[in-house]
Structure 1
Amino acid sequence: MTTIARPVGRIAIAPAPVGAAPGLVRQGRRRRLGRRPGLPGARLLGPLLVLIVWQAAAWAGLLDPRLLTGPDAVLRTAGELIADGRLGESIATSLGRALLGLAVGTVTGVVLAVLAGLSRLGDSLIDGTLQVKRAVPNLALIPLLILWLGIGEEFKVVVVALGVLVPVYINTYSGLTGIDRRYIELAESLGLSRRQYVRSVLLPGALPGFFVGFRLAVVGSWTALIVVETINATSGIGYMMSQAQLYAQSDIILVGLVVYGAFGFASDALVRLLERRALSWRRTLGS
């Protein structure tokens, strides 16, 4: 006997396949369950909202100008610092330290992760040592590093590199050792050499983990830089903020914080762009 489906609105009662329970089949457009594409610049909405609330509170007289000035006053102070060259010089110094420490820490972390991920001996020697370092905060190492390196540029770059090293190593190592066993069996069945296996299977499979660690490392480089430039420095954004603290210049302190935040936001956005380009072959919610 032939069953005829009867439409009820946008839902039709359709005949169930043989052996299956009867059910409802929805007609029309398929419902999408994933994330919808975001609008360009949507990630700026949160910071802009904070600025609007901050400025509104300043105009309403809810903030003490001696302790926390409004964004308009911070912008005027930034213009004055740019005009006399102090802000540009401080940014150039801090940016150089952050980039050098980020490069040293990233390269070191990737090399150690590859050695530990591809070799049992490397895993035994490196992973435990890095886990011990992970448990020791960088602030606890600063007195010892000052004894070894002094308070020059080498000390600052090493502290930044240590803040970058651990997240890069942990996530890259996790990506290398967490590759699905089926891909390894497929490479063996295809007769790939060790070099082909590393180039075609292992490294592409570890890239997602590396970029997770690299995003954490980029922000970590600025966090470590704030620490070293506030404690022991004679130049840079942190030094400018420390000098402003002595004279209760909250507007200059806020300029430094805004600069740190802007560089952190911009660097994270750049890493996200590189990640999307390098991992364009992946189909994920984020892509």
Structure 2
Amino acid sequence: MRFVKKVAPWLLPISLLLIWQFFAYFDWISSRVLPAPSDIVTSAIRLVSSGDMFEHIWVSTERALLGLAIGGTIGFIFGILNGVSKVSETIFDSSIQMVRNIPHLALIPLVILWFGIGEQGKIFLIALGVLFPIYLNTFHGIRSVDKQLIEMGKSYGLKKVALFTHIILPGALPSILVGLRYGLGIMWVTLIVAETISAHAGIGYLAMDAREFMQLDVVMLTIILYALLGKLSDWIAKLLEYRFLKWNPSYQK
């Protein structure tokens, strides 16, 4: 039964790949429209052998994680401040909500004018995209903590710091981790667009370079790489949920 649960999620993707290869083998799908999976695997082996693939993956991952660290930290801090303090919420929340409603990818022309076409602009876009889901979920999680638990903590003599670390933060953690998972998805989407801004390395650069030479198999490979990295980050986020939410009945085996 456990084996079936592990295999079941992969049945549909594998089936689609087999059908895709079957159609490509009999030329029912033109290679100019959609290259065969075998051609994509061949390109992947070539890039791995030359070492180029790992270099581009590392550059993209470094950009993504740096933007996540900056945007996630800012969003987390403001979420906590506005969640525990009415004064802070009054000062900051309205402004944050106004900026949140501006599509961050629409700021690309302005970002280029501010930062040029270097790394700073790409990291800024990723940080901006990640900031808001983590902020909103942190803020909502803290405000959703059961008031009776807080009162019980106070009755046991817990002071502000102890009350926050033992009751408020654990109670808000499920919502915070949901925000992290959502932010990770936005992180990769933003990275895809950001790496089209005159990048000299990274998966986006690899895709743009392949487009110039009509290497559709490499373009498809970059799309698959983004998908795999997104799946990996989501899997890590799930591990964090099970690690830090063992006390929650919903996350117990």
TM-score, length-normalised on structure 2?
A: 0.93
CA distance in 1, matches of 2:229, 2:85: 37
Shift of 1:58: 1.8
Q: Give the secondary structure class of the aligned counterpart of 1:40.
A: helix
Q: Give the secondary structure class of the aligned counterpart of 2:249.
A: coil
Residues 2-81 of structure 1 aligned to structure 2 (within 5 Å)? 39-40=5-6, 42-81=8-47
Q: Give the secondary structure class of the aligned counterpart of 1:230.
A: coil
Shift of 1:97: 0.5
CA distance in 2, matches of 1:270, 1:84: 29
Give per-residue Cα distances to partners, 1:91-141, cap 9 Å, x unaligned: 111111011111111111111101111111211122212211221111211
Structure 1 counterpart of 2:240, one-letter code:
L
Q: Which residue of 2 aligns with 1:147?
A: 113
CA distance in 1, matches of 2:155, 2:191: 49
CA distance in 2, matches of 1:209, 1:173: 9
CA distance in 2, matches of 1:235, 1:159: 17
CA pair 263-76 structure 1, distance change in 2 beyond 3 A: same
CA pair 100-244 structure 1, distance change in 2 beyond 3 A: same
Q: Which residue of 1 aligns with 2:190?
A: 224
1:185 corresponds to 2:151: yes
Shift of 1:271: 0.9
Task: Choose which of 53, 64, 69 in structure 2 pairs with 1:98.
Answer: 64
CA pair 37-200 structure 1, distance change in 2 beyond 3 A: farther
CA distance in 2, matches of 1:37, 1:133: 47
CA distance in 2, matches of 1:48, 1:133: 42
Larger displacement relative to structure 2 (60-69 or 37-46)? 37-46
Residues 77-88 of structure 1 aligned to structure 2 (within 5 Å)? 77-88=43-54
Q: Which structure's residues are more often helix, by fraction?
A: 2
> Which structure 1 residue ranges, 5 or more long, are not aligned?
1-35
Shift of 1:283: 0.8
Shift of 1:227: 0.3
CA pair 126-38 structure 1, distance change in 2 beyond 3 A: farther
CA pair 241-175 structure 1, distance change in 2 beyond 3 A: same
TM-score, length-normalised on structure 1?
A: 0.83
> Which structure 2 residue ranges, 5 or more long, are not aligned?
none
Alignment length, in residue pairs?
Answer: 252
Structure 2 counterpart of 1:252, one-letter code:
V
Structure 2 counterpart of 1:282, one-letter code:
N
Shift of 1:229: 0.6
Structure 1 counterpart of 2:40, one-letter code:
V
Structure 1 counterpart of 2:147, one-letter code:
R
RMSD of aligned alpha carbons:
1.9
Shift of 1:214: 0.4
Larger displacement relative to structure 2 (121-130 or 192-201)? 121-130
Contact 2:79 2:138 in 1 (8 A): yes
Structure 1 counterpart of 2:98, one-letter code:
V
Question: Which structure carries more relative contact order (alpha carbon 8 Å, separation 6+)?
Answer: 2
Q: Which residue of 1 aligns with 2:181?
A: 215
Shift of 1:195: 1.3
1:245 corresponds to 2:211: yes
Contact 2:184 2:230 in 1 (8 A): yes
CA distance in 1, matches of 2:116, 2:200: 13
Q: Which residue of 2 aligns with 1:176?
A: 142
Pick the structure with greater CA Rg: 1
Q: Give the secondary structure class of the aligned counterpart of 2:99.
A: helix
CA pair 163-264 structure 1, distance change in 2 beyond 3 A: same
CA pair 73-37 structure 1, distance change in 2 beyond 3 A: closer
CA distance in 1, matches of 2:76, 2:94: 16
CA distance in 2, matches of 1:95, 1:227: 14
